[in-house]
Amino acid sequence: MNHKVIIEPFRIKTVEKIKMTTENERKNLIKNAFYNPFLLKAEDVIIDLLTDSGTSAMSADQWAGILKGDESYAGARSWYKMKDAIQNMTGYEYILPTHQGRAAEHLLYGKIGGKGKVFISNTHFDTTRANIEYSGAKAIDCPIPEGLIPDLDHPFKGNMDTRALEENILKYGKENIAAVILTVTNNSGGGQPASLQNAKEVSEICQKYGILFILDSCRIAENAYFIKQREKQAKEMTYLEIAQKMFSYADGTIMSAKKDALVNMGGFLALKDKNLFNSLMTALIVTEGFATYGGLSGRDMEAIAIGLKEVFEHDYLHYRIRSTTYLGEKLKDMGISVISPIGGHAVYIDAKAFYPHIPVEQFPGQALTIELYKTGGIRAVEIGSVMFGAKDDKGNFVPAKMELVRMAIPRRVYTQSHIDYVVEVFAELLKYKDKVKGYKITWEPEFLRHFTAHFEPV
Ligand code: F0G
C-alpha cells in the first residue's frame, strides 16, 4: 500500500512544555515588545518559526553522544569523530572547527577579502554579505532570473546564473575575485536548491580563471533530496553520494552545523588546500580556540558527528522536505501567494499579495508577523522593507525587492498537528485581512534594524 500520510519517523522521548496564551494576553505581549517579534520572550510563543537554525531536536543517539564528549583541550576523541564525519562527507582533508557558521565566514572571508576584492554568489546570506563587506570587499548576487519570480515553477531556482558569473569575472578582473560562493539551498532566495549540473558549471568557470570555489553547505542534505527528486543523473545515487559529488566540484566549504548537522551550536570550515588551511589556523586559535575544538565543547563535536550521519537517512529527509511542502501546499490551496515550488526549510509568504491595501512604507510583512502572533501565538520573520528597506540620498524610502514573511521549520520539533494549527490560524487571518493596518517605525538602531526596531500601528 502506498500511504498518503507521511508520519514523523520518530517517537518522542522527551518533551518541552508549550505555554498556552490567550489572544488578549498576546495583544499586550506584542505591544510591550514594541510590535517586534524579535523582542518577545520565546516562552510567550506557541509555535516558533523564527528560524530553523540551532532549533533542531537532537536524537537519543546524539544525547548519548553528549555524555561521551571528550573535553580534552587538544586532540579530543570527539574532535576526531567530527573530523572523520566531515572528511567522509566532503572529501576534504583540512578541517577547522568553529562555534557557528559566521565564525568560519569571518575567518575565511576576512583573510581572502579586503578592499578591492569581489565575491560572487547565487545569493549571499546576510551574515555572509556582512562578513565580506566588513572586510572592505564587495558582494555580488547572481541568481538565475527565474529565482526572482516568486510563483514561477522551476526545479532549481537556487542555481547561479553562470553567464552573469562570467561577465562579472571579466568586469572586475579574475585576480580581484576572492571567491565564488554557491549557497545550497539558497536561503535568501527562498530555500531553493541548486543542481549538480550548476555546481559543475560554476566549478569549470572557477577553474578556467583560477578562482576559489566555496560551497555554503549548511543545508546540503536538504539540497541533495531535491537533486535526487529532480535531476536525472542523481536518480540512483544516495543522498550522501549526491552531497559528496557536489563537494567534489568545490575547493572548500563553510557549514553552519546548526542546520543540517542537527545540533544546537557549531560549524566548520573545510578545505582542499593545505596552504590556505595553515594560513587560517593561527587566526582560529586566536579568536575561536585551539585547532582541535574551535569554539566547541567536546560534546558539541560528538553530536555533530552523529547528526551529520542521521541527516542523510531517507526516512528523515523525506519527512523533513514533505512536512515543509505540506504547510506550503495547504496555504497555496487557500489562495495564499507563497514562493513556489516550496523550498526545503521554510515557507515564504508574499505579504504584499496578502495585504495589498497596506503600502510598502507601512510594512505589510511586519503587519503579517504581528497578526500571526496575536491570532495564533506564531512567530515568523519579516524579510522585506523592515529588513532591507533603505533611504536614497534625498531621504526617500526605497523598498525591498519583495515583502516576504518567512516561516522556518525547526527540524524534528513540531508534529503535523502543530502545522495544521498554523494553517487554521491563516484561515482566520484571511477572514479579516482587509481590516489590518500597517505599521511605522518609532525607533531604530543604525545597523540591522529588524532585530531591535520599535513599531507602532499607523
Ligand atoms: N549561511 C547560510 C546560508 C545561513 O542560512 C546561515 C544562518 C549562515 C550561513 C550563518 O550561520 O547562524 O551558524 O552563524 N542562517 C540562520 C537563519 C541564522 O535563520 O537562516 P550561523
- Assigned domain for 422 exists: yes
Cα of 101 vs centre of ligand 1, distance in Å, is 6
- Assigned domain for 9 exists: no
Q: For 386-407, what is the mean pLDDT? A: 91
Q: For 319-345, what is the mean pLDDT? A: 96
* Model confidence pLDDT, tens digit, residues 79-90: 999 999 999 999
* Model confidence pLDDT, tens digit, residues 46-80: 999 999 999 999 999 999 999 999 999 999 999 99
User: Would you call 443 exposed, middle or buried from its count of C-beta atoms within 10 A (0-12, 13-18, 19+)?
Assistant: exposed
Q: Count up the domains in the chain and report the number.
A: 2
Atom in ligand 1 nearest the alpha carbon of residue 267: 13
Cα of 56 vs centre of ligand 1, distance in Å, is 14
- Assigned domain for 303 exists: yes
Q: State how far the Cα of 218 lies from the Cα of 104, in Å rounded to an integer.
A: 12
102 lines ligand 1 (CB under 6 A): yes
DSSP notation for 168-183: HHHHH-GGGEEEEEEE
- Global pTM reads 0.96
* Model confidence pLDDT, tens digit, residues 144-155: 999 988 889 999
Q: For 22-43, what is the mean pLDDT? A: 98
- Residue 6 predicted with pLDDT over 90: no
pLDDT at 341: 95
Q: State how far the Cα of 135 lies from the Cα of 113, in Å rounded to an integer.
A: 6
Q: Cell numbers at residue 157, please? A: 531556482
CATH number, position 189: 3.40.640.10
* Alpha-helix runs per DSSP H in 260-393: 274-287, 298-310, 314-333, 351-354, 364-376, 385-388
Phi/psi at 91 (5° precision)? 80, 5
pLDDT at 140: 96
Cα of 64 vs centre of ligand 1, distance in Å, is 26
Final residue of a structural domain among 310, 333, 350: 310
pLDDT category at 2 given cuts 50, 70, 90 is: confident
Amino acid at 421: Y
The strand pairing partners of 391, in sequence order, are 397
293 lines ligand 1 (CB under 6 A): no
- Whose C-alpha lies nearest to ligand 1, atom 21? 101
Cα of 253 vs centre of ligand 1, distance in Å, is 14
Cα of 184 vs centre of ligand 1, distance in Å, is 11
- Residue 448 predicted with pLDDT over 90: no
- Residue 174 predicted with pLDDT over 90: yes
Atom in ligand 1 nearest the alpha carbon of residue 103: 14
Final residue of a structural domain among 310, 331, 350: 310
Answer yes or no: do 146 and 249 share one domain: yes
- Assigned domain for 151 exists: yes
pLDDT at 177: 98
53 lines ligand 1 (CB under 6 A): yes
Q: Are 407 and 422 in contact (CB under 8 A)?
A: yes
- CA-CA distances (angstroms) from residue 388 to 15, 380, 383, 392, 448? 37, 16, 7, 13, 9
pLDDT at 190: 86
Cα of 185 vs centre of ligand 1, distance in Å, is 11
- Assigned domain for 362 exists: yes
pLDDT at 188: 84
- Residue labelled with grid coordinates 583560477: 210
Q: State how far the Cα of 275 lies from the Cα of 93, in Å rounded to an integer.
A: 12
Cα of 242 vs centre of ligand 1, distance in Å, is 22
- CA-CA distances (angstroms) from residue 231 to 91, 154, 183, 225, 393? 22, 12, 18, 10, 46
- Whose C-alpha lies nearest to ligand 1, atom 16? 53
Which residue range(s) make up the domain with 320? 23-52+314-457
Residues 6+ apart with CB under 8 A from 84: 305
Answer yes or no: do 433 and 363 share one domain: yes
How would you classify the pairing of strands 138-141 and 118-121? parallel
Answer yes or no: do 148 and 276 share one domain: yes
- Whose C-alpha lies nearest to ligand 1, atom 1? 125
Answer yes or no: do 222 and 320 share one domain: no
Question: How far is C-alpha 262 from the geometric centre of its chain's CA atoms?
Answer: 13
Phi/psi at 52 (5° precision)? -100, 10
Q: For 155-169, what is the mean pLDDT? A: 98
- Residue 1 predicted with pLDDT over 80: no
Share of the chain above pLDDT 70, in %: 100
Cα of 428 vs centre of ligand 1, distance in Å, is 32
Atom in ligand 1 nearest the alpha carbon of residue 183: 3
CATH number, position 439: 3.90.1150.10
Answer yes or no: do 103 and 164 share one domain: yes
- Assigned domain for 367 exists: yes
267 lines ligand 1 (CB under 6 A): yes
- Assigned domain for 10 exists: no
Q: What is the mean pLDDT of the chain?
A: 96
pLDDT category at 231 given cuts 50, 70, 90 is: very high
pLDDT category at 401 given cuts 50, 70, 90 is: confident
- Assigned domain for 256 exists: yes
Final residue of a structural domain among 267, 289, 310: 310
Q: For 10-37, what is the mean pLDDT? A: 97
125 lines ligand 1 (CB under 6 A): yes
Answer yes or no: do 272 and 354 share one domain: no
127 lines ligand 1 (CB under 6 A): yes
Answer yes or no: do 154 and 196 share one domain: yes
- Residue 286 predicted with pLDDT over 80: yes
Answer yes or no: do 178 and 39 share one domain: no
Answer yes or no: do 27 and 68 share one domain: no
Q: Are 295 and 82 in contact (CB under 8 A)?
A: no
255 lines ligand 1 (CB under 6 A): no
Cα of 3 vs centre of ligand 1, distance in Å, is 35
216 lines ligand 1 (CB under 6 A): yes
Cα of 48 vs centre of ligand 1, distance in Å, is 17
Q: Cell numbers at residue 60, please? A: 537519543
Q: For 393-409, what is the mean pLDDT? A: 92
Q: State how far the Cα of 68 lies from the Cα of 448, in Å rounded to an integer.
A: 39
Q: For 221-235, what is the mean pLDDT? A: 98
The candidate with the shortest Cα–Cα distance to 328, out of 351, 355, 348, is: 348
* Model confidence pLDDT, tens digit, residues 116-129: 999 999 999 989 99
pLDDT at 184: 97
pLDDT at 447: 78
Answer yes or no: do 42 and 81 share one domain: no
pLDDT at 390: 85
DSSP 57: P
Answer yes or no: do 343 and 443 share one domain: yes
Q: Which of 56, 123, 256 has most ligand 1 atoms within 8 Å of CB, for mutation?
A: 256
Q: For 183-208, what is the mean pLDDT? A: 95
Answer yes or no: do 236 and 326 share one domain: no
Residues 6+ apart with CB under 8 A from 33: 39, 40
Q: Cell numbers at residue 338, please? A: 507563497
